[in-house]
Structure 1
Amino acid sequence: MDTVSVNVATVRSPTSIAGARESTRAFLEGLADPVAAEAADTVVLVVSELVTNALRHGGGTCTLHLTAHPDNIEVAVHDRNPRPPRMRTPDLNGGTGGFGWPMVNRLAHATAVTHRPGVGKTVSALLPR
C-alpha cells in the first residue's frame, strides 16, 4: 500500500474540534486498506486531544495533517506556540486538565515535537492501524 497523506483541516475554534474528529473519521473510512474500528476510535481520540491542546495552548489556530502508512496512522498538529507539551499531574479537583498529553503518549507507538523556527511547532503521534 502506498502512503496516503492529507491536510485535513485548519481548526480555528473549540467548536471546530468536532469537525476535526469528523474529518479524521472520513479520512480513515476513505482509505483503501481499512483501519480496524478500535484503532480508528483511538486515532480520533488522539486527534481530539492534540487539537484541543493546540487550541488551548498554541495560539487558537492549528492545522491537522493525517498520513496513512502501511502499519500506522500518523497524526500531526501544527500550532504557533513554540513551547512543547509537558507532562504534569492531572488536576482531579479543579478541572484544569493534565490528562491529554500523558494519554496520547500511552496510546501512541511514538510521539514527537518538532520545532518550526518562527512559526511554532508540530506535535506528532504514530498510532497502530
Structure 2
Amino acid sequence: MGMMSVTVTLARSATSVADARDSARTFLERLVRPIAAEAADGVILVVSELVTNALRHGGGTCTLDLNAHPAGIEVAVHDRSPQGPRMRTPDLNGGTGGFGWPMVNRLAHTTAVTRRPAGKTVMALIAR
C-alpha cells in the first residue's frame, strides 16, 4: 500500500475547526484502502481536538498533517507554542475543559509531543 498524505494550514476563524474536520473526512474518503467507520470517527475527533487546542493555545495558527500508513492514520498538528498538552482533572462544572487530551490518548494507538524551535508537534496514530 502506498502512503497518502495531506497538509492543511489553518488560521483561527469561526470555521477553521470545521474546515479541518472536512479536510480529514475528504482525506479518509480518498484512501485506496478505507478504514473502519469507528476508526474514521476517531480520526475526526482527534483532528477536532488537536486543531481546537492548537488554535486556542498555540498562537492562532496551526498546520494539520494527515498521513495514511499500513498501521493506521497519523494525525500531526504543528503550532507555535512550546507548551505541550497535559493531563488534568476534567472540570465538570466550570467549563474549563480537561477532557481532550485524555480522549486523544484513549482513541490513539500512540501519541507523542515533539518540541521544535518554533513550537511543537502533537502526533496521534489511530489504528485501522
Fold conserved between structures, TM > 0.5: yes
Q: In structure 2, what is the Cα distance between the partners aligned to 1:32 and 1:20? A: 21
In structure 2, the residue matched to 1:45 is 45
TM-score, normalising length from structure 2? 0.96
In structure 2, the residue matched to 1:77 is 77
1:103 aligned partner, one-letter code: M
In structure 1, the residue matched to 2:16 is 16
Q: In structure 2, what is the Cα distance between the partners aligned to 1:96 and 1:76? A: 24
Counterparts of 1:1-129 in structure 2 under 5 Å?
1-7=1-7, 9-14=8-13, 15-117=15-117, 119-129=118-128
CA contact (8 A) 1:111 1:126 kept: yes
Structure 1 stretches (4+) deviating beyond 2 angstroms? none
Q: In structure 1, what is the Cα distance between the partners aligned to 2:4 and 2:30? A: 10
Q: In structure 2, what is the Cα distance between the partners aligned to 1:103 and 1:36? A: 19
Gaps of 5+ in 1: none
Gaps of 5+ in 2: none
Q: In structure 2, what is the Cα distance between the partners aligned to 1:95 and 1:10? A: 28
CA contact (8 A) 1:29 1:35 kept: no
For 1:32, what is the secondary structure of its paired residue?
coil
2:77 aligned partner, one-letter code: V
Deviation readout 1:25-53 (Å, 9 max, x if unpaired): 00000011111111111100000000011
1:11 aligned partner, one-letter code: L
RMSD of equivalent CA atoms: 0.8
